[in-house]
């Protein structure tokens, strides 16, 4: 089954404790993105990747890092999480010709 998976689905952590949210897709998609969703703000893009080792900032990249060492994986790293990063995070992938984006199930992060 074609899908985008994220782990963990839920995470409660404390300020400053480094964490990684994993994202994996099995569709051989070139492009992958991370978004955060906050009430009243819709989804905002954090980072995106056009291929292995090629990444670029989205609209709200501060406080986040990403890497793309393999085509299928695109982890999101929070080196020193802060409470304002409490949010619902979605990973997405798309084919190179951009037909649509396929979204993962989401990761709800709470930073205390």
Partner 1 sequence: ELKVEQNPLFLSMQEGKNYTIYCNYSTTSDRLYWYRQDPGKSLESLFVLLSNGAVKQEGRLMASLDTKARLSTLHITAAVHDLSATYFCAVDGGNTGTASKLTFGTGTRLQVTL
What are the residues binding partner 1 (CB under 8 A)? 30-31, 33, 35, 40-45, 48, 50, 56, 58-59, 90, 92, 94-106
Enter the tokens of residue 6.
Answer: 């994220």
63: left (phi over 0), alpha (psi -120 to 50) or beta: left
Nearest distance in Å: CB 81, partner 1: 22
Q: Which is nearer to partner 1, 8 or 16 (CB)?
A: 8
Q: Look at residues 56, 57, 73, 58 and name the one whose alpha carbon lies nearest to residue 4.
A: 73
Nearest distance in Å: CB 12, partner 1: 17
Torsion of CA 42, 107, 82, 80, to 10 degrees: -130
Q: Which is nearer to partner 1, 13 or 45 (CB)?
A: 45
CA pair distance 81, 63, nearest whole angstrom: 7
Q: Which is nearer to partner 1, 3 or 80 (CB)?
A: 3
Nearest distance in Å: CB 38, partner 1: 10
């Amino acid at each position: 089954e074609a899908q985008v998976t994220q782990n963990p689905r839920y995470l409660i952590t404390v300020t400053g404790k480094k964490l990684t949210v994993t994202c994996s897709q099995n569709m051989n998609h070139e492009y992958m993105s991370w978004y955060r969703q906050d009430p009243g703000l819709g989804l905002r893009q954090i980072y995106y990747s056009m291929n292995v080792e090629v990444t670029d900032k989205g609209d709200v990249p501060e406080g986040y890092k990403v890497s793309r060492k393999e085509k299928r994986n695109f982890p999101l790293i929070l080196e020193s999480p802060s409470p304002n990063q409490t949010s619902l995070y979605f990973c997405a992938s798309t084919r190179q010709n951009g037909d649509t984006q396929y979204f993962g199930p989401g990761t709800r992060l709470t930073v205390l």
